[in-house]
């Protein structure tokens, strides 16, 4: 099989794009580096396409290796025909290869295998062609283990049944019949029928395989795993009846043995095998979809815009142990901590007010951050009253606590704050999540961030790989400040390992901030390849060369300097705001005029994609793509569940997206839910078609369930 041709056709790209991408990957280049700095080589393939090429190449490479194993095994058995060999070599699917290999695969000896060993195979052929006139003709096949005509007939049926079950065409036919006409069916086990469970909707449940939603597949799997549900696939008798008709002869004696064999093969081998395979396929599809949704949600969460230049008072609320309060400067440096008890059971309002006011004044705080967990709403009430009573020019914001406790007890947190209690570390993390969400959230296992669905039910290896790839993608897309980033953030930069990241931080601590990227060569273990992969994603905001604050790779500095000279400016002009505006204006003229762009490409002898990227970087040197995202909502008042009324219109922020809807933070403890049927007047297949995490939305309250504290919402507008 020509792997390159197969991938090229499957992804609908050009052959050179596949070949060059595979070569780049094989030479140790990372996906972010290839997609950003090798566009000419790949024909401007994006990250997703490059990762697809990587995955398919590995899949087909493994398939080809397995083919060798299969061919060798069948050949050793003396059963490899030219026709079978061709079929094996030409197959492009692992399932097809398994079907072809199944009759020859080493297995525990079956009833059919025993019958073959006893010499009943010639008799089975005689039955299949309908040439058996009388059962007495089977007398010659009687042996010690098959000592009656009845046992001989049974042995023949076993051979016919296994041959029928192992036939590639029969397997493919039944597979397609299930997919087109089959149903998923479930019911609660007897002991749970009269008990309320979270799987009640799946009692006496039946839905077409072709139409079942992925989240229902995962819910059924979980219910089955927990022992509450019995789940199976069902089809009508039509396929089996049609199969029997194909094998029917003019001889009723033979037909009886044949049909017994087909029933045996279908019930004991073929049907269980295909049912198991289809359930595995449904599960894999559902898991892949859940993992993809998790990754999309994670990407949006990591791209939450930072609230820059904010001196923060972060509060991690609590009842019995009190609220942990920390002050952080604009860069997230820890300044001071206290514990206050403004909520039940202590209700030390005055004392708490005094402590908080002193911290606000002492550290010139201009934003309060409140964790959204236990006692958060009582703490919110305390802060709102404090702001109003003292007429403070302050706003507050809620921050999701998901994963904060995981971080605070981690080895990394102990390294960062060895002398602080875990609860104080948690409060610091909450405050930093607002100042630079990406830098703080990368310290936490993505599975602990509260943006997934069924994350514990899916393939953990695939989930980890996908989420790690998402973190890497976002970190390199945003870029990393070389002089402020922790090693936990640096290790996600293209080409940089955990050990190299630690060496970078250590070098910075011992030698002061970096003034240019090439200083990285002073770090032991950081060679040419690592520098090539990483340099473009590392930013130095106050470096010797203004280009160091951009995403322009050092390999393109010379071209960039010539470009700026052609435009009539100097590199230093990038630091001057007024001159920068003139540069931006000239760049816009070039980007909007194909002739000017073509002339520059020729004069600089540079690729079109590379030049366009350089021009765009010069338009916004030091640009943070997160700044273009919807900004977080700051609050200065309070809303309670009791204040809500049907028909009320509110603003909120999307906090999580699932297969069935999107959750919205509307400023109270309970999140509201926009079911996907209330996202638009038109049909919406999936909420992610309309919304992303962090979107600011206007919603209308459709329903309020006071007992369960549930709020049903309708989407009015997405405020982009």
Beta strand segments in 289-345, E: 312-316, 323-328, 334-340
Specify the pLDDT at position 353: 97
The average pLDDT across 341-365 equals 96
pLDDT exceeds 80 at position 106: yes
- DSSP-derived letter for residue 303 is T
pLDDT digits (tens, 9 = 90+) for 513-536: 999 999 999 999 899 999 999 999
pLDDT exceeds 80 at position 639: no
What are the φ/ψ torsions at residue 25 (nearest 5 degrees)? -65, -45
Concatenated DSSP letters of 136-195: GGGGGG--SSS-SHHHHHHHHHHHHHHHHHH-HHHHHHHHHHHHHH-EEEEEE-GGGTTS
pLDDT above 90 coverage of the chain, percent: 89
69-73 long-range Cβ contacts below 8 angstroms, 24+ apart: 70/97, 70/100, 70/101, 73/101, 73/104, 73/105, 73/106
Specify the pLDDT at position 490: 97
Q: Closest Cα to residue 488, out of 563, 575, 429?
A: 429
> Would you identify the CATH topology of the domain 477-628?
DNA polymerase; domain 1 (1.10.150)
Specify the pLDDT at position 441: 96
Specify the pLDDT at position 474: 97
Q: pLDDT higher for 641 or 558?
A: 558
pLDDT exceeds 90 at position 540: yes
Specify the pLDDT at position 377: 86
Which homologous superfamily does the CATH classification assign to the domain defined by 3-75?
RuvA domain 2-like (1.10.10.650)
Q: Closest Cα to residue 244, out of 161, 131, 343?
A: 161
Straight-line distance from the first to the last Cα atom of the chain, in angstroms, rounded to the nearest whole number: 48
pLDDT digits (tens, 9 = 90+) for 47-64: 999 999 999 999 999 999
Respond yes or no on whether the N-terminal peptide bond of residue 345 is cis (omega within 30° of 0).
yes
For residue 370, the cross-strand partners are 315, 398
How do 538-539 and 649-657 pair as beta strands?
unpaired
How do 205-208 and 183-188 pair as beta strands?
antiparallel
Specify the pLDDT at position 720: 63
pLDDT digits (tens, 9 = 90+) for 564-613: 999 999 999 998 989 999 999 999 999 999 999 999 999 999 999 999 99
Dist CA 369 CA 323 (whole Å): 12
Two structure tokens written together for 61: 């490479």
Dist CA 402 CA 430 (whole Å): 10
Specify the pLDDT at position 667: 80
Dist CA 192 CA 229 (whole Å): 9
Select 641-718's CATH number: 3.90.180.10, 1.10.10.10, 2.40.50.140, 3.30.465.10.
2.40.50.140
The average pLDDT across 159-187 equals 97
Residue owning tokens 């999309």: 296
Specify the pLDDT at position 43: 97
CATH assignment, 312-451: 3.30.420.140
Domain boundaries of the chain, sorted by first residue = 3-75, 312-451, 477-628, 641-718
Q: What is the dihedral of CA 527, 531, 534, 537, to 10 degrees?
A: 150
pTM here is 0.88
The average pLDDT across 153-173 equals 97
Two structure tokens written together for 266: 């279908």
pLDDT digits (tens, 9 = 90+) for 447-493: 899 887 788 889 999 999 999 999 999 999 999 999 999 999 999 99
Two structure tokens written together for 142: 């009687």
Specify the pLDDT at position 34: 98
Q: Closest Cα to residue 483, out of 517, 434, 433?
A: 517
A 10 A CB-CB count for 478 gives: 22
Please provide the average confidence, as pLDDT, over all residues in the chain: 94
Q: Closest Cα to residue 315, out of 437, 397, 408?
A: 397
pLDDT exceeds 80 at position 494: yes
């Amino acid at each position: 099989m020509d792997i390159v041709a197969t991938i090229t056709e499957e992804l609908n790209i050009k052959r050179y794009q596949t070949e060059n991408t595979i070569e780049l990957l094989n030479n140790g280049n990372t996906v972010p580096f290839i997609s950003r700095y090798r566009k000419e080589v790949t024909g401007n393939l994006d990250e997703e396409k490059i990762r697809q090429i990587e995955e398919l190449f590995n899949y087909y490479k493994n398939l080809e290796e397995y083919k060798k194993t299969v061919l060798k095994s069948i050949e050793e058995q003396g059963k490899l025909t030219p026709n079978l060999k061709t079929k094996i070599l030409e197959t492009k699917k692992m399932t097809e290869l398994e079907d072809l290999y199944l009759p020859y695969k080493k297995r525990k000896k079956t009833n059919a295998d025993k019958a073959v060993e006893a010499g009943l195979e010639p008799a089975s052929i005689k039955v299949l062609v309908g040439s058996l006139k009388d059962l007495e003709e089977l007398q010659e096949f009687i042996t010690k283990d098959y000592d009656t005509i009845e046992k001989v007939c049974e042995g023949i049926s076993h051979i016919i049944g296994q041959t029928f079950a192992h036939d590639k065409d029969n397997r493919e036919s039944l597979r397609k019949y299930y997919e087109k006409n089959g149903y998923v069916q479930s019911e609660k086990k007897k002991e749970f029928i009269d008990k309320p469970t979270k799987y009640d909707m799946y009692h006496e449940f039946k839905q077409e395989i072709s139409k079942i939603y992925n989240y229902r597949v995962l819910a059924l799997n979980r219910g089955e795993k927990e022992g509450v549900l019995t789940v199976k696939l069902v089809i009508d008798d039509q396929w089996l009846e049609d199969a029997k008709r194909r094998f029917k002869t003019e001889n009723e004696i033979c037909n009886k043995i044949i049909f017994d064999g087909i029933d045996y093969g279908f019930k004991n081998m073929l049907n269980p095998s295909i049912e198991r395979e289809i359930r595995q396929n449904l599960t894999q599809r559902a898991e892949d979809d859940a993992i993809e949704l998790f990754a999309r949600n994670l990407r949006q969460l990591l791209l939450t815009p930072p609230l820059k230049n904010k001196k923060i008072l972060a509060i991690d609320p609590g009842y019995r142990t009190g609220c942990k309060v920390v002050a952080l400067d604009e860069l997230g440096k820890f300044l001071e901590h206290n514990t206050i008890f403004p909520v039940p059971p202590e209700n030390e309002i005055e004392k708490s007010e005094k402590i908080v006011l002193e911290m606000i004044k002492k550290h010139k705080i201009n934003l309060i951050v409140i964790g959204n967990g236990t006692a958060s709403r009582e703490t919110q009430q305390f802060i709102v009253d404090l702001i109003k009573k003292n007429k403070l020019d302050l706003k507050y914001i809620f921050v999701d606590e998901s994963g904060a406790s995981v971080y605070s007890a981690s080895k990394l947190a102990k390294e960062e704050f060895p002398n602080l209690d875990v609860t104080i570390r948690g409060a610091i993390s909450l405050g930093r999540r607002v100042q630079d969400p990406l830098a703080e959230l990368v310290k936490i296992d993505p599975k602990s961030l509260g943006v997934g669905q069924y994350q514990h039910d899916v393939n953990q290896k695939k989930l980890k790989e996908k989420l790690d790839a998402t973190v890497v993608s976002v970190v390199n897309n945003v870029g990393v400040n070389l002089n402020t980033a922790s090693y936990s953030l640096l290790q996600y930069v293209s080409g940089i390992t955990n050990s190299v990241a630690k060496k970078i931080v250590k070098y910075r601590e011992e030698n002061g901030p970096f003034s240019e990227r090439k200083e990285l060569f002073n770090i032991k273990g950081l060679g040419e390849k690592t520098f090539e992969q990483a340099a473009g994603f590392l930013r130095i905001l106050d470096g010797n060369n203004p280009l160091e604050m951009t995403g322009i790779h050092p390999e393109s500095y010379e071209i960039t300097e010539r470009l700026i000279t052609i435009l009539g400016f100097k590199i230093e002009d990038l630091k001057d705001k007024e001159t920068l505006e003139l540069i931006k204006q000239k760049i816009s003229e070039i980007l909007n005029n194909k002739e000017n762009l073509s002339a520059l490409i020729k004069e600089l002898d540079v690729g079109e994609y590379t030049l366009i990227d350089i021009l765009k970087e010069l338009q916004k040197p030091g640009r943070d793509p997160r700044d273009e995202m919807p900004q977080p909502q700051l609050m200065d008042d309070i809303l309670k569940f009791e204040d809500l009324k049907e028909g009320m219109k509110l603003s909120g922020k999307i906090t999580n997206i699932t297969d069935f809807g999107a959750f919205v933070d509307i400023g109270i403890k309970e999140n509201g839910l926009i079911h996907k049927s209330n996202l638009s007047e038109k049909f919406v297949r999936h909420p992610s078609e309309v919304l992303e995490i962090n979107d600011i939305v206007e919603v209308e309250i459709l329903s309020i369930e006071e007992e369960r504290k549930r709020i049903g919402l309708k989407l009015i507008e997405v405020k982009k």
